[in-house]
Amino acid sequence: MTEATCKREIELEIPADNVQKAAEKVARDIARMARIPGFRPGKAPVTLVRRRFAEDIQGEVVQSLVPEYLGKALDEKKLIPVTRPAIDHVEFKEGEPLKFRAVFEVLPEFELGDYKNLRVHVDEIQVGDEQVDKALEEMRERAASYVPLEGQPAKDGDYALIKLMGMPAGGGEPVRADNILCHLGGEETLESFTENLRGARAGESKQFESRYPDDYPDPKLAGKTYNYSVNVLDVKEKKLPELNDEFAKDAAGEQAGISTLAELRAKVRENLNAAREHEQAVQAREKILETLVHQHDFPVPEALIESQMDVRLERVVRSLAAQGVDPRAVNVDWVSLRRNQRPKAVNDVKAELLLDRIAEAEKIEATDEDVEKEIAALSERSGESVTALRARLTKQGALDRMKSKLRSDKVTEWLHRTARIETTARNEK
């Protein structure tokens, strides 16, 4: 047994008398059901049954006695495995004790250090005129209109409305798209599209080759070369609305009660401050957990690390799927990606163990009411009824996980309230 890890080993012996009694019972049970040539069912001698079904009897005895004696040993030693014990080194000889070894992991023992009044630094939340102006410009961009340039050739800065079909060089599945706005000269536009569509007029067709860079955001296109056939449907110019009171009313909507640009600027500043405060709170909680983990040095069960690595990998897969990307089609070394998650997974598990200990120390619990509120919130977001959602979560065994997560969140909030949070000034106008 190595104290520097969470791995534990127990070697046990089950008395020969107990093994013999169990073997005889199993043999009798088999004798009642076994079909042996020359004997009617249930009439074969037990000694013959024990010879003929020796391996089956041993297996049944091990399955019935080992969990019982291991459970007693764990209770006596006050050990709680976090993984199902692996049984090996089994020695089963007639008339002798049954010997075996159990290997498992337990939660680490550690002293909880100072976790009150933790000191962390976060970014300042001040919002200046520059950020307000930028937000207003983004609102103007979203409200932009695209005006046809009748008969004019496309130039840099214009938008070509196109229909395209692309065949990958070397063969493969073609790419088709209708009614795509291509911004000539834009940072987001491949240079080959700008070069070949510059000077084009509505109704013209173009054929050209495009190679996508290896780091292109869409993994389906990254590093590939396509031969495109493009029909120019129209050439348009982007028109931004004037930044005035009329724009403020339209952008805010009728329900907002905003009638002037000054009121819109004030509302934008308020929203930006609220968003930055939220960002600061998230940042503070992350740094609190980082500080806690850094201040405590203890081993972590390997099984929990492996599980957390899987959780992190699943997040990557879900993120790709949410972007419409088939994870199976992405050129990613999933084994290396999973392995690289290990350091963060270790810290995740440490943080959860620390939060659990703090919850016990401070008597912080997630109540049934907390769970019901969370279910109601999930129901509202998903559109699934509360009753159906609760039934599904219960069937999946997810309610306990939900309660554990809510408890951890409450501890994190408590740590946030008690921490000394200091801001670091930013150079923002």
More confident of the two residues 35 and 356: 356
Residue 141 to residue 193: CA distance in whole angstroms: 22
End-to-end CA distance of the chain: 60
Query: What does DSSP say about strands 98-105 and 159-168: parallel, antiparallel, or unpaired?
Result: unpaired
The predicted pLDDT at position 429 comes to: 40
Beta-bridge partner residues of 123:
424
Q: Which amino acid is at 171?
A: G
3-state secondary structure the chain: CCCCCCEEEEEEEECHHHHHHHHHHHHHHHHHHCCCCCCCCCCCCHHHHHHHCHHHHHHHHHHHHHHHHHHHHHHHHCCCECCCCEEEEEECCCCCCEEEEEEEEECCCCCCCCCCCCEEEEECCCCCHHHHHHHHHHHHHHCCEEEECCCCCCCCCCEEEEEEEEEECCCCCCEEEEEEEEECCCCCCCHHHHHHHCCCCCCCEEEEEEECCCCCCCCCCCCCEEEEEEEEEEEEEEECCCCCHHHHHHHHCHHHCCCCHHHHHHHHHHHHHHHHHHHHHHHHHHHHHHHHHHHCCCCCCHHHHHHHHHHHHHHHHHHHHHCCCCHHHCCCCHHHHHHHCHHHHHHHHHHHHHHHHHHHHHCCCCCHHHHHHHHHHHHHHHCCCHHHHHHHHHHCCCHHHHHHHHHHHHHHHHHHHHCEEEEECCCCC
Residues 6+ apart with CB under 8 A from 77: 10
φ, ψ of residue 375 in degrees (nearest 5): -65, -40
Confidence grade of residue 26 (pLDDT, cut at 50, 70, 90): confident
The predicted pLDDT at position 1 comes to: 34
The predicted pLDDT at position 428 comes to: 46
Per the prediction, the chain carries an average pLDDT of 88
38-67 average pLDDT score: 73
More confident of the two residues 34 and 155: 155
Q: Which one is the CATH code of 145-239: 3.40.50.1000, 3.30.1360.120, 2.60.40.10, 3.10.50.40?
A: 3.10.50.40
pLDDT in tens, 300-353: 999 999 999 999 999 988 888 887 777 877 777 889 999 999 999 999 999 999
More confident of the two residues 397 and 347: 347
Cα distances (angstroms) measured from residue 128 to each of 140, 242, 261, 274, 308? 19, 22, 17, 13, 40
Q: Answer yes or no: is pLDDT of 2 > 50.
A: no
Confidence grade of residue 39 (pLDDT, cut at 50, 70, 90): low
142-164 average pLDDT score: 94
CB 269 within 8 A of CB 132: yes
Give the domain ranges of the chain.
Answer: 7-105, 145-239, 277-424
Q: Answer yes or no: is pLDDT of 50 > 70.
A: no
Comparing 54-68, 92-106, 226-240, 346-360, which segment has the lowest mean pLDDT?
Answer: 54-68
The predicted pLDDT at position 297 comes to: 92
Instruction: Calculate what percentage of the chain has a pLDDT beyond 90.
Output: 64
Residue 370 to residue 292: CA distance in whole angstroms: 26
The CATH code of domain 277-424 reads 1.10.3120.10
Q: Answer yes or no: is pLDDT of 203 > 60.
A: yes
pLDDT in tens, 220-239: 788 899 999 999 999 999 99
Q: Does domain 7-105 have CATH number 3.90.1150.10?
A: no
